[in-house]
């Protein structure tokens, strides 16, 4: 059963659930200078803290390729017991 919380005065953004994706940038240089806006296609996914939703971040999960992002994101959401509700557009495409 889902828990509920009262919506009172909250900071802007507290009603959202935020996930952070970070890409590694180590060892991408030209003659010792950083190449701006370049990164590897691997990194970590981290859940952000949210007291309204009772979310306490756990350990970051690494991904080794951008192709791993959906499965690692699903693991992070599951680990934090986040339930996603399909939008009307998703319901048109995916049938139960």
pLDDT digits (tens, 9 = 90+) for 58-85: 999 999 999 999 999 999 999 999 999 9
Q: Sign of the C-alpha dihedral, residues 18, 21, 22, 28? A: negative
Q: Average pLDDT of the chain? A: 89
With 0.85 as the threshold, say if the pTM is over it: no
Phi-psi region at 16: left, alpha or beta (left = phi > 0; alpha = psi -120 to 50):
beta
């Amino acid at each position: 059963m889902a828990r509920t919380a009262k919506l009172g005065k909250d900071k802007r953004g507290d009603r959202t659930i935020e996930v952070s994706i970070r890409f590694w940038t180590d060892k991408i240089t030209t003659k010792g200078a950083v190449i701006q806006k370049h990164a590897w296609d691997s990194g970590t996914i981290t859940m952000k803290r949210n007291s309204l939703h009772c979310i306490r971040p756990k350990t970051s999960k690494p991904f080794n390729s951008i192709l791993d992002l959906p499965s690692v994101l699903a693991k992070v959401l599951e680990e934090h017991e986040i339930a996603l509700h399909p939008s009307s557009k998703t319901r048109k495409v995916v049938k139960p």
